[in-house]
Structure 1
Amino acid sequence: MKGLHAWAALMLVFGATPALAQQKGMDELLKQIQQGSQQASQLNAEREQRFLRNKNEQAALLGKAESDFAAANARANQAKARFAAGQGEIAELKKRLTERVGDTGQMYAAIAQSAGEFRGQVAGSLVTAQFPDRIGFLDRIAQAGEIPSVQDLEKLWFLYAQEAAESGRVARFPAEIVDALGEKEKVDVVRVGLFTALTADGYLSLQPDTGRLALLARQPEGHGGLARDFSEAKEGVHPVVIDPSRGDLLRLIAERPTVAERVHQGGLVGYVIIAIGVLGAVLAAWQFVYLLLVGIRVRRQLGNVGQPREDNPLGRVLASLRGDTTQDPEILETRLSEAVLRETPKLERFQSLLRMIVAAGPLLGLLGTVIGMIITFQVITEVGAGDPKLMAGGISQAMIATVLGLMIAIPLLFVNSFLMARSRTLTQILDEQAAGLLAQRLESAGATRA
C-alpha cells in the first residue's frame, strides 16, 4: 500500500508540472498580444498624423497652383493684348511704307524682271565662260525679296556695258573645257566677240546648262586649220569661221557626212558603181592621151606627106602603097581602104565599152534606189515612222546610189562624145589623105600611059 501511495504521489507531481508550464506560456502570449496592440495603435496614430500633415501640404500646393494659374492667365491676356496692338502697329507701318515707297516697288519689279531676262541671255553667252560669276549675281538680283542696293544696281549696269563691249572684242583667256573624250582640261581659249570660241584643237560650243565650253566632238571639215592658225596667231589679220549661234551651226555642219561617209552610205551597189566609173575614167583617160599623141603626130605628118613615118596612122596609110607598082584603081583603092580600116579600131578603141558604162551607171543607181527604199519600208514596218533618223539609212542609200550612177554617167557621156568626135576627125583625115594619094597615083599612071 505504501508503495502504491508513493507511485500515486509521484504521478501527481509529474502531472502538475505540465499544467504549470502551459499556464505560464498563455500569460506570455497575452502579454505579447497586448504589446502588439499597443504598437499597432501607436503606428496608426503616427500614420493619421502624417496623413493630416500631407493633406495640409497638398491643400497649400493646390492653392499655390491656382494662384500661379491665375497669374499666368493674366500675363497671357496681357500678351494677347500687346500682340493685337503690335499687329495693328505693323499693319499701320506697312500701310505707311507702301505709301512712302510708291513707284519704288514698281521700279524694283522692273529691275528684277530685267535681271531675270538678262540672266537668260548671259547663260547662253560665250562671255560667261570668261566671267562665270555673273550668273550667280543675276540670280540673286532676280530672286531677292528686297530692294537692291546702289552697289548692286551699279554692278548690273556694268554687266550690261560689259556684254556690249565684249561683243566686239577678241579675247584670250584660260578656261576649263570638256574635250572630245568628256575629260576636263585647262587650256587657252580664244573668243571672237559673242559668236565663236576656239582653241588650237578646234572650235568650241557653249553648254547652256553648265556655262562650260566643250570641244566639238567632230570638227567642221576643212575648217580645223583656220581654228589652229587663228588660235596661235599673236598679231595681224587671220580668217576664222564666225558662228552666230555660238557653236550650234558648227555642230550641225560637223555632223554632215564626209565624202567617204557619203560613199559608204551607197552600200554595195555604190561600190560597184564607183568601180565601173573608175574603170571607165581610166579607159577614157588612156584613149584621150592616145588620141592626143596621135593627133600631134598626124599633124606633123601632114606637114611632110612625101615622107611617111611608121609612128602615126597617116604615115602607115601613106606607106601602104610604097613599092606597089599596081596601076589598077580598084586594087589601089582596096589597099588604101584596108590600111584605113586597120587604123580605125585603135582610134575608136573603148568607145563601145564607155557607152555601155554610161548606160549602166543610171541603171545601177536605180537599182540602189530600189534597194534603199526597200530598207526604208522595212524599218517603217518594224519600228514605225515616228523617228525619221531610223529611216535615214535607207533613204541615204537610195539617194547616194542614184547620185553616184549619174556622176559616172554624165562625165563619161561627154568624154565619150569627145573621143568619138576626135577619132572621127582623125579617121576623116586618113580617108581624105588616102583619097588624095589614090588620085595622085591614078594621075601619075595616066600621065605615064600618055
Structure 2
Amino acid sequence: MTYRYLIAGMLGLVLYVLTSVHAQAQSEAATSEPATTEKSSQTESSNQDVSLDAVLSAVKADLEKSKARLKARESEFTERRDTAKNRMNKAIAKMQALEAEGRRLEGNFESNRVELDDKARLLKEKLGALKELFGVFQQNASDLIGSFNGSPTSIQYPARDEWLEGFANRMKNASEVSSVDDIMGLWFEMQREITSSGDIVPLRAPVVTTDGKSRERDFVRVGTFSLITATPKPGYLYWSAAGQEVVELPRQPVGSYPADIDAYLSEGKGLNTLSVDPTGGTLMSLLIQKPTLTERVNQGGLVGYIILILGSIALLLAVYKFLEISSITSRVHAQQSDLNNLRPNNVLGQLLITYHENRHVDSETLEMRLHETVEKARLYVNRFTVFLKIIAAVSPLLGLLGTVVGMINTFQAITLYGTGDPQTMAGGISQALITTVLGLIVAVPAVLMHALVSGRGKGVMNILHQHTAAILGDQMQAQELVSSRAEPPQGSGPVPKSAPA
C-alpha cells in the first residue's frame, strides 16, 4: 500500500509539472507577434519535448531513490520490531518468574508467620513469671533514666543512659532473657547513684554562661543537690536535664548565699555550713525569681514613684522640724535657767521682752500683747508640720489609686490574652499590691513623725503658756494690790493735812 501511494503521488506531481509547462507555453505563444507565430510554435514544440523527457528522467531517478530509502527504512523498522519483540518476550518471562518467586515467598512468609506465632506462644509459656520480672526491670530502668537525666551525677557518668535505654528496650520486647550481668548492672547503677548523692566532688567541665557561650570551669558537686563555683565569683550552677549540660544561673539569689559559698570553698575540709536545694533546682529557680527591692519599687510604676517622692519629702521635713524644735527647746531651757539675761533668739526671751516692754499697761492690753507674741511663736514652731499631716493622709489614697490602676491593667491583659498565662496578669497585680504597700509604708511613718514633731512643738508652747499665765497672774495681782492701796478705808473720811497728830 505504501508503494502505491508513493507512485500515485509521483505521477500526480509529474502531471502537474507538465500541465504548468504547457500552460506557460500557450501563454507565451498568444503574446508573440503574428509574423513569427509559425516559426515560434515549431521551436517551442521541440523545446517542450526535450523538457518533458528531462522531467520524466528526473522523476524516475527520484522514484528510484525514494524506493531505496523506503526499503532501507522498512528493513530498519523490521529489525527494531524484532528486537523489541525479543525484549518483550524476555520481560514477560522475567515477570512470570518473579510472580512465581513472589508466590513462593508469600507462601514462605505465611508459614514463617505461623511458626513465629507458635514460637512466641511457646516463649510466653516458658517465660511465665519471668515476664513480670522483666516488666519490673523495664519499669525500673525507665524510672532510672528519668532520674539520672535530672541528676548532676550525669556529668561524671554520661554513658549510663544509653546502656539503660538498651536494657529497657530488651526487657520491654522480651526478645531475650536478661543475663545476670544485666541485672547486676542495673543494681550497680542504682547503688552508684545512692553513693554519689553523699559525695562532694570537685569537677571541671564545660559551663554554659549567661552570654550563651560554653567555657571550661571548675566547680564542686554537692551530692545530687547543688553545683557551686568560685569563679569568676561565688555562686550556684544548675544541671539542665533538657540539654544535659551545666548552666550558669541568670542571676544569683539575693542574700548571704554567695558569701556562704565563698566561705565554704575557702575553709577547705571540716564541717562547714552551705545552703543546698534538696528539690534539685526547683527552689533555686523560684528564689532567683524573687524580685529585689529596686524591682519591687519599679513594679509600682508612676504612682509608686510619686508616693516615694512624698515619703522622701516627709522624711526631710520631719528631720528638719525635729532639729529645729530641738534647737528651740534647748534655747528656751537656757533662757529659763537665766531669766535675768533676756535674749531675743528664743521664743521665751521674746515673750519676756514683750512683758517688760508692756508691764506698765493694763492687764487686758498686756494679755493681748503676750498672746500676739505666743501666736507668732506657735506659727514659727508649727510651720511645715501640716505638710507631714497632709502626706500621711494622701499617701494611702495614692496607694489606692495605684491599686485601681493596676487592676485596670490586669483586666485589660485578661481581655487581650485571656487567663491562660498568669504572666500576662502579673504586672498589673504587682502594681496594685506594691502601690498599696508603698502608700502604707509612707503613711505610717509620716503619722508617727507628725506626732513626734507636734509633741515637741506642744512642749515648747506649753512652756510659753505657763509663763504667759504666770505673767498675767502676777500683773493682775500687782494691779489689784495697787488699787487696794489707792482706795481709802470704808466709813472714814479723808484725813486733813492740818489734823493733829
Q: TM-score, normalised by structure 2?
A: 0.64
Out of 183, 191, 194, the position equivalent to 1:153 is 183
> How far 1:338 sits from its partner (Å)?
2.7
> How far 1:428 sits from its partner (Å)?
0.9
| Residue in 1 that maps onto 2:290 | 256
| Residue in 1 that maps onto 2:33 | none
Structure 1 residues 99 and 347 mapped into 2: Cα distance closer, same or farther (>3 Å)? same
> How far 1:88 sits from its partner (Å)?
8.5
Out of 139, 154, 157, the position equivalent to 1:128 is 154
Contact 1:179 1:214 in 2 (8 A): yes
> How far 1:287 sits from its partner (Å)?
0.9
Contact 1:270 1:401 in 2 (8 A): yes
| Residue in 1 that maps onto 2:244 | 211
Give 1:209's aligned amino acid.
Answer: A
Of 272-281 and 315-324, more deviation after overlay is shown by 315-324
Give secondary structure in 2 for the equivalent of 1:168: coil
Contact 2:370 2:468 in 1 (8 A): yes
Pair 1:420 & 2:454 matched:
yes
| Residue in 1 that maps onto 2:229 | 199
> How far 1:310 sits from its partner (Å)?
4.5
| Residue in 1 that maps onto 2:167 | 141
Write the distance in 2 (CA, Å) between the matches of 1:413 and 1:239: 43
> How far 1:92 sits from its partner (Å)?
8.7
Structure 1 residues 176 and 315 mapped into 2: Cα distance closer, same or farther (>3 Å)? same
The CA deviation string for residues 177-206 of structure 1, in whole angstroms up to 9 with x for no partner, is: 211122112212222232222223422222
Contact 1:316 1:339 in 2 (8 A): yes
Structure 1 residues 92 and 374 mapped into 2: Cα distance closer, same or farther (>3 Å)? closer
Write the distance in 2 (CA, Å) between the matches of 1:108 and 1:386: 42
Write the distance in 2 (CA, Å) between the matches of 1:386 and 1:88: 55
Pair 1:115 & 2:162 matched:
no
Matches within 5 A, 1:373-392: 373-392=407-426
Of 361-370 and 233-242, more deviation after overlay is shown by 233-242
Write the distance in 1 (CA, Å) between the matches of 2:380 and 2:214: 66
| Residue in 2 that maps onto 1:291 | 325
Give 2:166's aligned amino acid.
Answer: R
Contact 1:298 1:312 in 2 (8 A): yes
> How far 1:93 sits from its partner (Å)?
12
| Residue in 1 that maps onto 2:195 | 165
> How far 1:447 sits from its partner (Å)?
7.4
Contact 2:359 2:366 in 1 (8 A): no
Name the Cα RMSD after superposition.
3.6
| Residue in 2 that maps onto 1:23 | none
Give secondary structure in 2 for the equivalent of 1:412: helix
Instruction: Show structure 2 runs of 5+ residues with no match.
Output: 1-103, 486-501
Structure 1 residues 191 and 298 mapped into 2: Cα distance closer, same or farther (>3 Å)? farther
Matches within 5 A, 1:176-255: 176-200=206-230, 201=233, 202-222=235-255, 223-255=257-289
Pair 1:174 & 2:208 matched:
no
Give 1:141's aligned amino acid.
Answer: F
The CA deviation string for residues 200-257 of structure 1, in whole angstroms up to 9 with x for no partner, is: 3422222122332211113222344434443454245554332222222222222232
Give 2:189's aligned amino acid.
Answer: L
Structure 1 residues 186 and 195 mapped into 2: Cα distance closer, same or farther (>3 Å)? same
Count of aligned residue pairs for this structure pair: 370
Structure 1 residues 316 and 236 mapped into 2: Cα distance closer, same or farther (>3 Å)? farther
Contact 1:130 1:175 in 2 (8 A): no
Matches within 5 A, 1:23-34: none
Out of 404, 407, 417, the position equivalent to 2:441 is 407
Structure 1 residues 309 and 93 mapped into 2: Cα distance closer, same or farther (>3 Å)? closer
Contact 2:321 2:385 in 1 (8 A): no
Contact 1:116 1:139 in 2 (8 A): yes
Structure 1 residues 154 and 390 mapped into 2: Cα distance closer, same or farther (>3 Å)? same
Structure 1 residues 440 and 92 mapped into 2: Cα distance closer, same or farther (>3 Å)? closer
Give 2:364's aligned amino acid.
Answer: E
Write the distance in 2 (CA, Å) between the matches of 1:319 and 1:93: 121
Write the distance in 2 (CA, Å) between the matches of 1:267 and 1:88: 77
Give 1:371's aligned amino acid.
Answer: V
Pair 1:372 & 2:401 matched:
no
> How far 1:159 sits from its partner (Å)?
2.8
Give 1:112's aligned amino acid.
Answer: Q
> How far 1:309 sits from its partner (Å)?
4.4
Contact 2:343 2:349 in 1 (8 A): yes
Write the distance in 2 (CA, Å) between the matches of 1:290 and 1:393: 43
Contact 2:202 2:220 in 1 (8 A): yes
Question: RCO (CA 8 Å, sep 6+): is it higher in 1 or 2?
Answer: 1
Structure 1 residues 159 and 292 mapped into 2: Cα distance closer, same or farther (>3 Å)? farther
Give secondary structure in 1 for the equivalent of 2:198: coil
Write the distance in 2 (CA, Å) between the matches of 1:122 and 1:226: 28
> How far 1:308 sits from its partner (Å)?
4.3
Write the distance in 2 (CA, Å) between the matches of 1:341 and 1:322: 18
Contact 1:366 1:401 in 2 (8 A): yes
> How far 1:107 sits from its partner (Å)?
3.7
Structure 1 residues 331 and 225 mapped into 2: Cα distance closer, same or farther (>3 Å)? same
Give 1:198's aligned amino acid.
Answer: I
> How far 1:283 sits from its partner (Å)?
0.9
Write the distance in 1 (CA, Å) between the matches of 2:247 and 2:462: 68
Contact 1:132 1:211 in 2 (8 A): no
Contact 1:219 1:251 in 2 (8 A): no
Provide the identity percentage.
35
Contact 1:204 1:247 in 2 (8 A): no
| Residue in 2 that maps onto 1:430 | 464
Contact 1:176 1:187 in 2 (8 A): yes
Give secondary structure in 2 for the equivalent of 1:220: coil
Q: TM-score, normalised by structure 1?
A: 0.70
Structure 1 residues 113 and 376 mapped into 2: Cα distance closer, same or farther (>3 Å)? closer
> How far 1:305 sits from its partner (Å)?
4.3
Give secondary structure in 2 for the equivalent of 1:219: coil
Instruction: Show structure 1 runs of 5+ residues with no match.
Output: 1-75
